[in-house]
Chains A and B, each alone.
Chain A
């Protein structure tokens, strides 16, 4: 797919440009000498991310949203396609060069409990990126910088010498964000950063991420399974289904005029915390389940559950095409 995916600032250079990205996994071997079974986790994903922008990446389990995040960060190898970051092709970057690249792209994890080493003090955790990149010689030298990072994420300065278990989920997620910011990256992949948090602290973290974006000009790839959080933080939103991108559009266009039947279902499935609205809403509940990634259907992966599927859908893979300004959909019938 060679089409350039449009975005709001047409003239600006994209910070991250992904073209026809595919990832194949080894799904274990049956024996020592046997050829590994391959699973297509991701097929033909393309998108651009501009400086200061948030792209929401939404999908259910097995949709490939986490794989996309990890592939873009070069945590997993790509099988096909190109990843260009800051004008530089990083698709095959390895070793020391990849390590240096980490200064520009970071990850915020889903689980704030498991992503901090329980045996390290907060100071050691946040200072570690500075140390391993040789920016400071030891932890004590990093103290001031870490203090500044703590201020940035609204953590008390005296948090330095405590261990992660002394903090609540929301505070831990702030520590994780401070660690990701330590190297002053331009681009952050946020992999479901609030879904493991309690409802009352989710808003804190979402607001923090928005403030940081304004203050530091960060670009986010915001991965979520929940369309309601994504709406608040994203400028554009992409929907993944079973390893393929089915729709990508500017936020308002997507939420007000969803075009792919899967996006419609996803939107209508999100419960609204208001009984009257909830009762009044037309709910689209589709039969069936997400297909097995190891054995997806031929043609459009959604056609087995789709109400408007035609014969063509079960034969040919629909291509992502522009249906409206800044609105791309992969569906034969829309």
Chain B
């Protein structure tokens, strides 16, 4: 459908940049996106300032205070707000420190896998032909190869550690970037302005980085954030299996694993780290959804118009039905 935003005369043109305020306002109007964004900010703050926030060192054990329930339950005390685990470690402190592992692994893996996948996809899409065919078959082969098996193989050869986990997750998660990027490069290559750039004599590097790459920022941003949630879950799963974060370091996955034997005795051991994982993943998804709509001009216009329609209905004039002329 043609939205008739007809070409404005040059005098009415607005600068594109410096539009932070309207974007912030848009986020404010989207409740789900706002909640997601707030939680993400809080999580990051929590991870960064963990030593200041956490009441205890997460590794300190206390045999005297084993399996204390959360404060609001009988026998609970405000010394340990979320209770303690089987070794007397403070659950709240462990949850706070656990955010570090999740965010660190998530960010590093997304950056590592993203960089490699993007370069791979850029190259394949730009070269085209046989090289592209060959490179994408490589991607297909790795996608077809069971990721978990690969992880097990590598870990059993190298031994589990945080850095190994990051590398292993990057190795098994770069393919989606390559595929997405290649697809976009192939379609953007066909656009007249890329042809125009080649026509005036731009060298391939300039065409690729000045004309093609900027088109990738918004889809990659959304993809990266969604992939981040996958990695957070993968990190939890690997730590749960004992292939990831190793004690005395903490991780939500590790804590869920530790707590699983006490599930009937002390439910809080797996509940709070598990809840943290869910909340993180959910809020990132909420935010990513808002971001996806915001970076798609058409969807963004529609969201704006729907909001307007709701406002109009609230102000009394029934939207859709015409006012009597």
Indicate whether A and B are direct neighbours in the complex (CB within 8 Å). Answer: yes
Contact call A106/B214, Cβ cutoff below 8 A:
no
In the complex, chain A residues whose CB is within 8 Å of the CB of B200: 102, 106, 128-129, 132, 179-180, 182-183
As a 0/1 sequence over residues 131 to 148 of chain B, the CB contacts with chain A under 8 angstroms (1 = contact) are 001000100000000000
B18 interface contact, C-beta 8 A: no
Most buried by B among A75, A117, A159, A162: A117
Most buried by A among B196, B198, B203, B214: B196
Give the distance in Å from the alpha carbon of A176 to the alpha carbon of B137 in the complex: 39
Contact call B193/A166, Cβ cutoff below 8 A:
no
**A-B pairs with CB below 8 Å: how many?**
77
In the complex, chain A residues whose CB is within 8 Å of the CB of B195: 75, 107, 109, 115
Contact call B201/A117, Cβ cutoff below 8 A:
no
In the complex, chain A residues whose CB is within 8 Å of the CB of B196: 107, 109, 115-117, 176, 179
Contact call B214/A119, Cβ cutoff below 8 A:
yes
Option from B191, B192, B203 in Cβ contact (under 8 Å) with A132: B203
A111 interface contact, C-beta 8 A: yes
Contact call A99/B201, Cβ cutoff below 8 A:
yes
B8 interface contact, C-beta 8 A: yes
B24 interface contact, C-beta 8 A: no
Interface size for chain A: under 10, 10 to 19, 20 to 34, or 35 or more residues? 35 or more
In the complex, chain A residues whose CB is within 8 Å of the CB of B12: 166
Give the distance in Å from the alpha carbon of A3 to the alpha carbon of B54 in the complex: 90
Given A166-B10, A166-B13, A168-B7; A107-B197 close (CB under 8 Å): no
Contact call A115/B192, Cβ cutoff below 8 A:
yes
Who on chain A is nearest to B201 by CB? Answer: A102
A167 interface contact, C-beta 8 A: yes
Who on chain A is nearest to B8 by CB? Answer: A166
Who on chain A is nearest to B200 by CB? Answer: A129
Most buried by B among A103, A156, A159, A166: A166
Given A169-B7, A179-B200; A109-B133 close (CB under 8 Å): no
Within 8 A of A (CB), among B1-36: 6-10, 12-14, 16
Contact call B16/A116, Cβ cutoff below 8 A:
no
Within 8 A of B (CB), among A109-161: 109-111, 114-119, 128-129, 132-133, 156, 158-159
In the complex, chain A residues whose CB is within 8 Å of the CB of B201: 99-100, 102-103, 129, 132-133, 183
B312 interface contact, C-beta 8 A: no
Who on chain A is nearest to B192 by CB? Answer: A115
For the complex formed, measure the closest distance between the CB of A175 and the CB atoms of chain B, giving whole angstroms.
Answer: 11
In the complex, chain A residues whose CB is within 8 Å of the CB of B9: 168
B211 interface contact, C-beta 8 A: yes
In the complex, chain B residues whose CB is within 8 Å of the CB of A180: 200
B302 interface contact, C-beta 8 A: no
B199 interface contact, C-beta 8 A: yes
In the complex, chain B residues whose CB is within 8 Å of the CB of A163: 13, 16
Contact call B193/A115, Cβ cutoff below 8 A:
yes
Contact call A162/B193, Cβ cutoff below 8 A:
no
A73 interface contact, C-beta 8 A: yes
In the complex, chain B residues whose CB is within 8 Å of the CB of A110: 192
In the complex, chain A residues whose CB is within 8 Å of the CB of B16: 163
Contact call A117/B199, Cβ cutoff below 8 A:
no
Contact call B202/A132, Cβ cutoff below 8 A:
yes
Option from A111, A128, A176 in Cβ contact (under 8 Å) with B202: A128
Contact call B206/A132, Cβ cutoff below 8 A:
yes
In the complex, chain A residues whose CB is within 8 Å of the CB of B10: 156, 158-159, 162, 166-167, 171
Give the distance in Å from the alpha carbon of A32 to the alpha carbon of B196 in the complex: 31
Contact call B8/A114, Cβ cutoff below 8 A:
no
Give the distance in Å from the alpha carbon of A128 to the alpha carbon of B202 in the complex: 8
Contact call A114/B199, Cβ cutoff below 8 A:
no
Give the distance in Å from the alpha carbon of A180 to the alpha carbon of B197 in the complex: 11
Contact call A116/B206, Cβ cutoff below 8 A:
no
For the complex formed, measure the closest distance between the CB of B105 and the CB atoms of chain A, giving whole angstroms.
Answer: 33
Within 8 A of B (CB), among A208-240: none
In the complex, chain B residues whose CB is within 8 Å of the CB of A169: 7
In the complex, chain B residues whose CB is within 8 Å of the CB of A176: 196
Who on chain B is nearest to A156 by CB? Answer: B10
Who on chain A is nearest to B191 by CB? Answer: A114
Given A128-B197, A132-B200, A162-B13; A167-B192 close (CB under 8 Å): no
In the complex, chain A residues whose CB is within 8 Å of the CB of B206: 132
Can you list 17 A-B contacts (CB < 8 A)?
A: A32-B137, A103-B201, A110-B192, A115-B193, A117-B211, A129-B201, A132-B202, A132-B203, A156-B10, A159-B10, A163-B13, A166-B7, A166-B10, A166-B12, A167-B7, A168-B6, A171-B10
* Contacts A32-B133, A32-B137, A166-B13 supplied; 7 other A-B pairs, CB < 8 Å: A102-B199, A102-B200, A106-B200, A114-B193, A128-B197, A129-B200, A129-B201
Report the 9 A-B pairs with minimum CB-CB distance, sorted nearest first.
Answer: A166-B13, A168-B7, A115-B192, A102-B201, A129-B200, A114-B192, A117-B193, A99-B201, A107-B199
